[in-house]
Chain A
Amino acid sequence: MLYTCLLPACQSEQHLGQYYTVPPSHFHTVFPHGLPPRYQQQVKTFNEGCVMVRQPALELISHLKRADYSKPTLRYLLYGVKGSGKTMSLCHTVHYCSTQGWLVLHIPDAHLWVKNCKELLPSSYHASRFDQPIQASNWLRNFRTTNEHFLSKIKLRQRYVWTKRESTEEGRPLGELVDMGVSRVKSSSDVVGAVLKELRLQAGGTEGGFRLAVAVDGVNGLWGRTTLKKEDKSPVAPEELTLVHNLRKMINNDWCGGAVIATLSQTGSLYAPSSAYLPQELLGEEGFDSMDPFVPVPVSLYSEKEFESCYLYYLDRHWLQHPHSQTEEGKKELIFLSNRNPSVLERLCAFL
């Protein structure tokens, strides 16, 4: 039993280790930017997107089903060694949330906002902060693709003034705000801040009644150091970036009606040793204090059953082509070389 056709809402422990297909119609709407690049290549090659049902994702989904949404938001943190499947579990949960009709705020990698920024504008709203127009407008574009149907339903509760001549009135739909942010690149970071604030205020409301899922990958990037420099070559702290400042407010549990699901990531992180994977090490003191209390969800390497399932999936999709890789000896060698690490196994099977 390798494949199951149930969507995330109906999956349970008996489906552990089985693969379910993400319907092609969902791919471009739910995941314009969340998936790891190698997985995107795999989807293009196999002409379908299959995700394995694993324990951490099922645990998260069961928590989300049973949580009380009138209380302050619960924060879930996925942690594990490099390549153990944290981002994929996050994407599985995001797919569940979007099939249940939640509004999904998916930040694909928080590290992309604290490094390699070509344009750093001083913020118009707050004197000591910096704006990142390119990253903000990209994210707004992807946000618009993900949540099309919500954009016309949510109305703004406050008037926002952008320049002397431009302002967005109260009661206008959120879609207008997002379109303005995408077209006027200079004020896109402030638009992002406004969008986050509106969603936070309206998430738990009884009359609007939508649930908000904030999915952040690489959340440890929000509390470390950045590689960005001001014009006088002094380093920029993460608090001085508008995007990071607003995102930190989102991760605080002072709003209700949703959930925050975060992943730690050493791969894109700055100034963190490569062997670090625990929350304490990667988040640092400041980060840990802000995230505390959270629900930790450990993501482990493949168990024997999961490894079997992955091996059979690759065989089924004609991915393992080397004649020796289809024998018992080749399988033992794959287990030895990859140590059942999902990403290492994927890279090994790529050229075998």
Chain B
Amino acid sequence: MASTSGLRTTLSKMAASLTGLLKPWTPRVLLVRWSRYNPYYLEPEPRKEVYHIPETELTPEQKEERELKSVRPIKAATNSVTSSVFNDPVLSKFVNMMMKDGDKIIAKGIITQTLENMKRKQVEKYHKAPEGKKAEIECNPYAIFHQALENCKPVIGLASIQKGGKFYQVPIPLTDNRRRFLAMKWMITECRDNKHRRTLMYEKLSQELLAAFSKEGNVVKRKHELHKMAESNRAYAHYRWW
């Protein structure tokens, strides 16, 4: 997103010089799948708090922004942005990664069933546990999901770098986005491939997430194996030039 908005600002500067073109226009052929808007259009604001600030407490920048928004057209919001308090960006990313053929309804349904299943198991354990053990049982499925994902994120990754005709697996640092992506990808592929024919996706996913929460299970095992490979290849670390 950062690179495309940078591109848009340079484009808008180029376009500003050709002032005749900087009017609200829609192209003759409208692309439906990707949103390629004229840079004249502004981003929508889905958060509720922004609209609840009374007139008197606005800073000058905010007043200017509101005036700009009253004259400029605004892009349509995508389906995934909500003003709901229950909106979770990490969970939305996970839903998008699980989605096949653009069927978000099925993916969202699987995730909600997974959360419900996890909560049911934990609440049942909570109600049956003796008084002393109750505080240790985590019942919040969102907390379990985030913690499990944290436990699956690798710290260091491997890249295939060519040196002298051969390819070496070199340990490299990973960005936060890449780590999150790898954790989610491993979780989803693990649940799709290594399950019994009759278990449903939400059942297997809830089992894996609960196991990852307590640092057991196949996904954290895969993370540890990656770390071990990186540790064993530390001699090649100098092949990295960035």
* A residues in contact (CB < 8 Å) with B: 41, 44-47, 317-319, 321-325, 327, 329-330, 333, 350-352
Q: Is the CB of B86 within 8 A of A321?
A: no
* B residues in contact (CB < 8 Å) with A: 84-86, 112-113, 115-116, 119-120, 123-124, 126-128, 139-143
Docked Cα-Cα span, A330 to B84, in Å, equals: 9
CB contact between B141 and one of A41, A45, A318, A351 (< 8 Å): that residue: A351
CB contact under 8 A between A318 and B128, given known A327-B85, A333-B86: no
Docked Cα-Cα span, A14 to B99, in Å, equals: 50
CB contact between A44 and one of B115, B124, B141 (< 8 Å): that residue: B124
The binding surface of chain A is classed by DSSP as helix
Question: For B126, what are the chain A residues with a Cβ–Cβ distance below 8 Å?
Answer: 318
How many Å from the CB of B150 to the closest CB on chain A? 18
Q: Is the CB of A333 within 8 A of B116?
A: no
Q: Is the CB of A47 within 8 A of B115?
A: no
Q: Is the CB of A350 within 8 A of B84?
A: no
Q: Is the CB of B116 within 8 A of A319?
A: no
Q: Is the CB of B124 within 8 A of A47?
A: yes
How many Å from the CB of A37 to the closest CB on chain B? 13
* Between-chain CB contacts (< 8 Å), 15 pairs: A45-B124, A318-B139, A319-B119, A319-B123, A322-B140, A323-B140, A329-B85, A330-B85, A330-B86, A333-B84, A333-B86, A350-B112, A350-B116, A350-B119, A351-B119
Question: For B127, what are the chain A residues with a Cβ–Cβ distance below 8 Å?
Answer: 45-47, 317
Question: For A41, what are the chain B residues with a Cβ–Cβ distance below 8 Å?
Answer: 120
CB contact between A46 and one of B116, B123, B140, B142 (< 8 Å): that residue: B123
How many Å from the CB of A344 to the closest CB on chain B? 13
Q: Is the CB of A45 within 8 A of B123?
A: yes
Q: Is the CB of A352 within 8 A of B86?
A: yes
Docked Cα-Cα span, A321 to B141, in Å, equals: 7
Question: For B120, what are the chain A residues with a Cβ–Cβ distance below 8 Å?
Answer: 41, 45
Docked Cα-Cα span, A41 to B116, in Å, equals: 11
CB contact between A318 and one of B85, B112, B115, B123 (< 8 Å): that residue: B123
Q: Is the CB of B128 within 8 A of A324?
A: no
CB contact between B119 and one of A321, A324, A327, A333 (< 8 Å): that residue: A321
Q: Is the CB of A325 within 8 A of B86?
A: yes
Nearest residue, chain B, Cβ from A47: B127
Docked Cα-Cα span, A323 to B126, in Å, equals: 18
CB contact under 8 A between A321 and B85, given known A44-B124, A45-B123, A45-B124: no
Docked Cα-Cα span, A329 to B49, in Å, equals: 12
Question: For B116, what are the chain A residues with a Cβ–Cβ distance below 8 Å?
Answer: 350-351
How many Å from the CB of A44 to the closest CB on chain B? 7
Docked Cα-Cα span, A327 to B119, in Å, equals: 19
9 additional A-B pairs beyond A319-B119, A351-B115, beta carbons within 8 Å, are: A317-B123, A321-B143, A322-B86, A323-B140, A327-B85, A329-B85, A330-B85, A333-B85, A333-B86
Docked Cα-Cα span, A45 to B118, in Å, equals: 11
Q: Is the CB of A321 within 8 A of B128?
A: no
Nearest residue, chain B, Cβ from A332: B85
Question: For B128, what are the chain A residues with a Cβ–Cβ distance below 8 Å?
Answer: 47
Docked Cα-Cα span, A325 to B85, in Å, equals: 8
Docked Cα-Cα span, A325 to B84, in Å, equals: 11
